[in-house]
Amino acid sequence: MDEVIFLQQQEVLHPGLMRLYGYCCEAEQWGVVYDFKSFNTVANLVLRDDFMWWQRIKVALRFAQLLRFLHVQNRGERPFLIRNISADHIMVDEDWNPKLYDFGMITGGIFPDKTKYSFQCLYGCWGYREPKERAFEKYSCDRELVGGENFRFSLVHKSFEADPSFCASDAPSITRLALYCVNYLPRDRPDLNGVVYWLQRLKVVRRHLRVFIER
């Protein structure tokens, strides 16, 4: 139900979000239909040798831009927090643009803080929550960043050694970014503006600027 409500909000229209085509409810079970020509999920693509370095970075950059939008776009309200970011929940189209779906755990914006309700016990999916988080601790954009960085870690693959688009000088840079984003103290992590700026400075982005131009 939350997913249907979220995707019907005009203020959250973004190319990185699935476009809702229709939905139905039968026996308290909801089903949604997306208007999207999918290519594959990131979870499937990361294991393929033909998923090239520049394509992986484009997915990472576009996804960081989406999170930045969700965290700052709804002025006067709490930012939208997805809470269950996973490579399984990110579809990629034929132009290597990521599309996020599955908002069953979303909070913020028009939605109440679900941690305040006893029947809501969801705080994130496996590999998404930071280790020190507890049920009584407040969820925030800083913690959302950990989930996003875990997704970026999943883009690493041994095929880079034979990838002509791989820029060796980018490796230490993106490694530092990943480590900053999973810093133990939330206050020491960069915000999404910083993450986007860092990714845009990578050599592979400048080399393939035409395909990285923001929509």
Question: Which has more pLDDT, 177 or 36?
Answer: 177
| Continuous H helices in the chain | 2-7, 42-45, 53-72, 141-153, 170-181, 192-200, 203-207, 209-212
| Continuous H helices in 46-188 | 53-72, 141-153, 170-181
Alpha carbon distance 11, 8 (integer Å): 9
Residue 44 is assigned to a structural domain of this protein: yes
Averaged pLDDT for residues 11-29: 85
pLDDT tens, residue by residue, 62-103: 999 999 998 875 556 788 888 888 888 899 998 999 999 888
Angle of helix 192-200 relative to helix 141-153, nearest 10 degrees, comes to 30
186 contact partners, CB below 8 Å, separation of at least 6: 140, 142, 143
Residue 111 is assigned to a structural domain of this protein: yes
pLDDT of residue 199: 94
Residue 182 is assigned to a structural domain of this protein: yes
Residue 89 is assigned to a structural domain of this protein: yes
% of the chain surpassing 90 pLDDT? 20
Q: How confident is the model at residue 151 (pLDDT cuts 50, 70, 90)?
A: low
Question: Which has more pLDDT, 106 or 53?
Answer: 53
Residue 157 is assigned to a structural domain of this protein: yes
The label of the residue with tokens 């929550």 reads 129
CATH of the domain at 118: 1.10.510.10
Averaged pLDDT for residues 33-40: 82
Question: Which has more pLDDT, 155 or 21?
Answer: 21
pLDDT of residue 195: 93
Residue span of the structural domain in which 52 resides? 39-212
Residue 162 is assigned to a structural domain of this protein: yes
pLDDT tens, residue by residue, 166-204: 888 888 888 889 888 888 888 888 889 999 999 999 999
Residue 2 is assigned to a structural domain of this protein: no
pLDDT of residue 99: 92
Q: For residue 67, how many C-alpha atoms fall within 13 Å in the half-sphere facing its CB?
A: 30
pLDDT of residue 144: 55
Residue 165 is assigned to a structural domain of this protein: yes
**Confidence check: pLDDT of 153 > 70:** no
pLDDT of residue 91: 92
Residue 134 main-chain phi, psi, to 5 deg = -125, 165
Q: How many domains does the chain have?
A: 1
Burial (CB count <10 Å: 0-12, 13-18, 19+), residue 140: middle
Cβ 62 vs Cβ 213: under 8 Å: no
Among 31-35, 126-130, 178-182, the minimum mean pLDDT is found in: 126-130
Residues in the chain, overall count: 215
